[in-house]
């Protein structure tokens, strides 16, 4: 008896492993593993299961095959659906499997989703129904037994990744902030510091000493989730001014250096936000590009000879290149005022490099900013 049970369990486990590692299709009477499926994209896959046998291809319809799956985990199930008052049998891509199942269908001019709940309810979730109600209201009605996802219904995007994430949360009835696109305004202060190129040999520049500049920093930001996860792509468009001055003195000359800039800053970073509630710490790292809209550098020099000071004509020089590239990193914390509105505070460091040759300055900045999304 024990041997028989062991053999049955081994066969079941082997079937599951083979099914997970190879392509397959199933009919009412059999399942074929280790076959070669041709991926025709969402449109073709919804109509046919295409199998390659040698030099031939065989197309099976949803009436012949009840399920097929690719190596990457995509599974298509044969289902009868209603489209524009017509009943048709198609292959639906199963996006999430659980107590509540999510399916996706793409036909000619049609992209829609279906939800199967408790094996008793099978309903379409169109982007907008005949009563012109948004899909979020239908989701709210279908998931009203789990209040934890009520806010997520208002934020979920009408796409595979976002809806799959939502149904997974609903099946577990998880209370977590749902990832969504955020954009808005930020403002704060930026500290700028000049750093001389290490290969510089100009005596005036080597002796110059600039104090850090502090100025107002403001702009717009976008925070876009990656595949409905806690990782996101963050970018912004910021503007600030900076002004630097230095006086150098030697036995033979006295010199004043003045630098005035108006800078546009555009970072592109990856952000990870800890999925806690209300207060959510996050971390950024990525690249930064700065363009100096206004970039004025002037050197005033006077020669000293036998206690006689002779002023020279001011010289305009490109002490800082218009274009600066580098990296950015930082950390901050978000506070959720409600399900959609957030405010944040962040500290960010930028290390910038000039693409020009020697004898110029680079500029590093530290930002302390706060913002709110629209």
The 10 Å CB-count burial string (b at 16+, else e) for 69-98 is beeeebbbbbbebeeeeeeeebbbbbbbee
By the 10 Å C-beta count (0-12 exposed, 13-18 middle, 19+ buried), 293 is classed as exposed
The pLDDT tens digits for 198-217 are 777 677 787 888 999 999 99
Residue 33 pLDDT > 80, yes or no? Answer: yes
Task: With beta carbons less than 8 A apart as the criterion, state whether 18 and 10 touch.
Answer: no
The pLDDT tens digits for 222-276 are 999 999 999 999 999 999 999 999 988 777 788 889 999 999 999 999 999 998 8
Nearest to 171 by CA among 229, 112, 116: 116
Task: Say which range, 77-91, 233-247, 302-316, 337-351, has the weakest mean pLDDT.
Answer: 302-316
Rounded CA-CA distance 269/284 in Å is: 6
Q: Which has more confidence, 2 or 164?
A: 164
Cα 130–Cα 136–Cα 140 angle in degrees, nearest 5 = 110
Handedness of CA 199, 367, 226, 220 (dihedral sign): negative
Domains of the chain: 19-172 (no CATH), 182-373 (2.40.160.20)
Cα 74–Cα 79–Cα 19 angle in degrees, nearest 5 = 35
Residue 307 pLDDT > 80, yes or no? Answer: no
The pLDDT tens digits for 334-370 are 999 998 999 999 999 999 988 765 557 889 999 999 9
Instruction: Name 199's bridge partners.
Output: none
Q: Give the largest Cα separation in the chain, rounded.
A: 113
């Amino acid at each position: 008896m024990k041997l028989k049970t062991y053999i049955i369990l081994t066969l079941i486990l082997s079937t599951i492993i083979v099914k997970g590692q190879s392509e397959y299709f199933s009919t009412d009477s059999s399942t074929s593993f280790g076959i070669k499926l041709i991926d025709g994209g969402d449109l073709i896959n919804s109509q046919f299961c295409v199998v390659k046998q040698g030099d031939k291809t065989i197309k099976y319809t949803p009436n012949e095959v009840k399920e097929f799956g690719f190596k990457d985990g995509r599974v298509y199930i044969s289902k009868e659906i209603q489209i524009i008052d017509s009943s048709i049998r198609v292959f639906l891509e199963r996006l999430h499997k659980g107590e509540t199942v999510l399916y996706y269908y793409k036909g000619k001019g049609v992209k829609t989703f279906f939800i199967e709940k408790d094996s008793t309810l099978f309903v379409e979730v169109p982007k907008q129904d005949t009563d012109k109600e948004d899909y979020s209201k239908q989701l709210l009605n279908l998931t009203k037994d789990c209040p934890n996802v009520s806010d997520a219904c208002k934020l979920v995007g009408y796409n595979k990744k976002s809806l799959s994430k939502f149904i997974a949360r609903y099946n577990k009835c998880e209370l977590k902030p749902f990832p969504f696109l955020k954009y808005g305004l930020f403002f704060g202060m930026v500290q700028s510091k000049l750093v001389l190129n290490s290969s510089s040999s100009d005596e005036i520049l080597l002796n110059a000493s600039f104090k850090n500049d502090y100025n107002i920093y403001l702009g717009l930001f976008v925070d876009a989730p990656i595949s409905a996860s806690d990782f996101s792509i963050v970018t912004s468009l910021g503007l600030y001014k900076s002004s630097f001055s230095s006086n150098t003195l030697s036995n033979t000359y006295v010199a004043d250096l003045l630098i005035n800039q108006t800078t546009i800053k555009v970072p592109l970073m990856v952000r990870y936000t800890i999925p806690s509630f209300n207060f959510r710490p996050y971390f950024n790292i990525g690249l930064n590009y700065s363009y100096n809209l206004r970039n004025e550098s002037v050197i005033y020099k006077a020669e000293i000879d036998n206690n006689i000071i002779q002023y020279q004509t001011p010289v305009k020089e490109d002490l800082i290149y218009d274009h600066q590239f580098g990296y950015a990193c930082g950390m901050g914390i978000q506070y959720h005022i409600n399900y959609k509105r957030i405010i944040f505070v962040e500290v960010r460091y930028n290390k910038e490099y000039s693409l020009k040759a020697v004898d110029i300055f680079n500029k590093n900045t530290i930002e302390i900013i706060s913002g709110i999304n629209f």
